[in-house]
C-alpha cells in the first residue's frame, strides 16, 4: 500500500490525518489476519521515526525520506513525488523478484507513485480516491479553497492508469464514471468497515462520569478535523438557533467538538472558537483535542447524538462508528453519508446546511424520546452491516480481479 501524504500511524483528527488513516491501517490489519502481508509506504515527517515499523503482525510501515520532515503542506508534496517514488522502487529492488503481488494506492498523490510501481514491477494497481477534487469543488463550504487544476489532472491520470478503482459507495462509483470518464468495468464498490469490537454501546452514565459530562445532559457531539469541509460551524449555528427557540435547553445542552484544525482550517485555527463566542455559546461548546480511538469510542457512547454536517464525504467513518456505539446520527445528505445513515432508521439526513433546517433535525431527536430510542436501535443494526473483515474479503477479491484485468490488457 502507498499512503504518501499521511501515515496510518498518525493520530486521526488533526492535520491531514483522518478517516483515510483509519481506513489504511484497519484494512491492512484485516488483510494480514486473512493471510496477506502488507507493506505500507508513507512519507517520513520526523527524524525520530524509525525507517521500518512493525505496526501489527503482518503489517509493516515504511517511512520514506522525501523532502523536509516538517513544514511541507499537502499542496507542496507533488514536488517530492520523484524522490518518494525512487525510494519506494529502491526498497522493492532489495527484495526477491516478485515480492509484491499488487499495489494499492490511497489518494491521488499515492496513485502517481503507484502507477510507476505498477509498470516497473508488473503487478496490478488498485486505487482508492478517498476524496475527489471535482466533487469537492462542486460543493465548497463557505471560506474553503478550491482544489487546484494540478490535482484534477493528477487524478485523471491515476484513473486512467489504475487496473481497478475502489469506490466506497455506489454514488462514488457513478462519480468516477461520470466526472472522470472511468471505465465502468474497472470500478468496484467496496464499503469501508467499522471496528465493531472497539465501537460498541457502553454504559452511558459510566462514560459520562469518566469524560466529565453531566449525566442528564443533552450531548451533541462533533468529531473530526476542524475545517470548512467538515462543517463544524453548521452545528454551532444550528445550536444557536435551537437555543433561540428554546432558551431553557441551555441548562442541559453540551456540544463537545473533538478534533483539531486541518486543511484550510489551519489558516484560521481559532475561527471556530471565535464563532462560538460570537454566537453566545460559551459554556455550551467544549473544545477537546484529538483523542485516541478507544477514547473516541467513549465520546460516541456518551453522546445523545453525533452531528456530521460535512459538505462532502466519500463514506463517513464518523457516522458509521457513532452508529456502532448505538448513537443516532444527524448528517448532511451528501456523498457516502446517504449510504451510511439510514434516514429515519439510524439517524436523520438533512438537505443543505442552513441553520434552521439543522436546528429542526436536532430538535426532533432531543424532543421525541420514542424517536431517539428507535434511532438508537436502528443505529446498531445499520452499523452491523459494516465490518473491516468483510471489507478485507471483498478487497482480496478485488486484487485478484485487478490481476486478471491486467493480464487481459497484456494479452490484448
Sign of the alpha-carbon dihedral angle for 362, 364, 366, 371 = negative
107 annotated ligand-binding residue: yes
DSSP class of 315: S
Q: By the 8 A CB rule, do 21 and 31 touch?
A: no
Contact indicator for 179, 126 with CB cutoff of 8 Å: no
Contact between 235 and 216 (Cβ < 8 Å): no
Question: CA dihedral defined by 250, 275, 233, 9, rounded to 10 degrees?
Answer: -110
- Cα-flanking dihedrals φ and ψ of residue 157, to 5°? -65, -40
* Residue 223 marked ligand-binding: no
The tally of CA atoms less than 13 A away on the side-chain side of residue 2 is 32
C-alpha R_g of the chain: 21
C-alpha dihedral, 304 to 310 to 315 to 319, nearest 10°: 0
291 is in an annotated binding site: yes
Residue 373, annotated ligand binder?
no
Separation of alpha carbons 117 and 158, rounded Å? 12
| Residue 11, annotated as binding a ligand | yes
Q: Is 313 marked as binding a ligand? A: yes
Measured distance CA(28)–CA(112) in Å, rounded: 21
Asked if residue 308 belongs to a known ligand binding site, the reply is no
d(CA 21, CA 405): 28
Burial, 26: exposed, middle or buried (Cβ in 10 Å; 0-12, 13-18, 19+)?
A: buried
Q: Is 303 within any annotated ligand binding site? A: yes
136 marked among binding-site residues: no
Residue-level length of the chain: 412
Sequence-separated (6 or more) residues with CB below 8 Å from residue 197? none
17 is an annotated ligand-binding site residue? yes
* DSSP sequence for 270-297: THHHHHHHHTT-TTTEEEE----HHHHH
DSSP state of 251: G
- φ/ψ region of 219 (left if φ > 0, alpha if ψ in -120 to 50, else beta) reads beta
Check the CA dihedral 10-13-14-17 and report its sign: positive
325 among annotated binding-site residues: no
151 is in an annotated binding site: yes
- 16 annotated to bind ligand: yes
284 is in an annotated binding site: no
276 labeled binding residue:
no
Q: How far apart are CA 45 and CA 84, in angstroms?
A: 13
- The annotation places the binding site for 1D-myo-inositol 3-phosphate at 5, 16-21, 74, 107, 131, 151
- The annotation places the binding site at 5, 11-12, 16-21, 74, 107, 131, 151, 225, 230, 291, 300, 303, 313, 321, 327
- The annotation places the binding site for UDP-N-acetyl-alpha-D-glucosamine at 11-12, 19, 225, 230, 291, 313, 321
- The annotation places the binding site for Mg(2+) at 300, 303, 327
Amino acid at each position: 500500500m502507498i499512503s504518501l501524504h499521511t501515515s496510518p500511524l498518525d493520530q486521526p483528527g488533526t492535520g491531514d490525518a483522518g478517516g483515510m488513516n483509519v481506513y489504511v491501517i484497519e484494512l491492512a490489519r484485516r488483510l494480514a489476519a486473512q493471510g496477506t502481508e502488507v507493506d505500507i509506504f508513507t512519507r517520513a515527517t520526523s527524524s525520530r521515526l524509525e525507517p521500518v515499523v512493525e505496526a501489527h503482525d503482518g503489517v509493516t510501515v515504511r517511512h520514506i525520506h522525501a523532502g523536509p520532515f516538517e513544514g511541507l503542506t499537502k499542496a507542496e508534496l507533488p514536488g517530492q513525488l520523484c524522490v518518494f517514488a525512487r525510494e519506494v522502487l529502491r526498497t522493492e529492488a532489495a527484495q526477491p523478484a516478485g515480492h509484491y503481488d499488487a499495489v494499492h494506492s490511497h489518494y491521488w498523490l499515492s496513485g502517481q507513485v503507484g502507477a510507476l510501481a505498477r509498470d516497473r514491477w508488473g503487478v496490478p494497481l488498485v486505487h482508492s480516491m478517498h476524496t475527489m477534487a471535482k466533487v469537492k469543488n462542486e460543493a465548497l463550504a463557505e471560506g474553503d479553497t478550491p482544489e487546484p487544476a494540478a490535482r484534477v489532472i493528477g487524478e485523471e491520470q491515476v484513473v486512467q492508469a489504475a487496473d481497478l478503482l475502489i469506490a466506497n459507495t455506489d454514488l462514488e462509483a457513478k462519480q468516477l464514471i461520470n466526472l472522470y470518464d472511468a471505465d465502468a468495468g474497472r470500478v468496484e464498490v467496496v464499503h469501508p468497515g467499522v471496528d465493531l469490537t472497539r465501537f460498541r454501546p457502553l454504559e452511558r452514565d459510566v462514560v459520562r462520569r469518566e469524560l466529565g459530562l453531566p449525566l442528564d445532559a443533552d450531548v451533541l457531539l462533533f468529531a473530526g478535523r476542524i475545517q470548512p469541509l467538515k462543517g463544524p460551524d453548521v452545528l454551532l449555528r444550528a445550536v444557536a438557533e435551537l437555543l433561540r427557540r428554546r432558551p431553557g435547553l441551555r441548562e442541559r445542552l453540551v456540544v463537545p467538538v473533538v478534533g483539531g484544525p486541518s486543511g484550510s482550517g489551519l489558516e484560521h485555527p481559532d475561527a471556530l472558537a471565535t464563532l462560538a463566542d460570537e454566537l453566545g455559546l460559551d459554556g455550551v461548546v467544549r473544545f477537546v483535542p484529538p483523542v485516541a480511538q478507544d477514547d473516541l469510542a467513549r465520546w460516541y457512547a456518551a453522546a445523545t447524538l453525533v452531528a456530521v454536517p460535512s459538505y462532502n464525504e466519500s463514506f463517513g467513518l464518523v457516522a458509521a462508528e457513532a452508529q456502532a456505539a448505538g448513537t443516532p446520527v444527524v448528517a448532511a445528505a451528501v456523498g457516502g453519508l446517504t449510504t451510511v445513515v439510514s434516514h429515519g432508521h439510524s439517524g436523520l439526513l438533512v438537505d443543505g446546511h442552513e441553520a434552521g433546517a439543522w436546528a429542526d433535525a436536532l430538535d426532533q431527536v432531543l424532543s421525541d424520546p420514542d424517536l431517539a430510542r428507535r434511532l438508537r436501535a436502528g443505529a446498531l443494526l445499520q452499523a452491523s452491516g459494516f465490518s473491516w473483515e468483510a471489507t478485507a474479503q471483498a478487497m482480496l477479491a478485488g486484487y485478484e480481479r485487478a490481476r486478471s484485468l491486467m493480464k487481459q490488457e497484456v494479452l490484448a
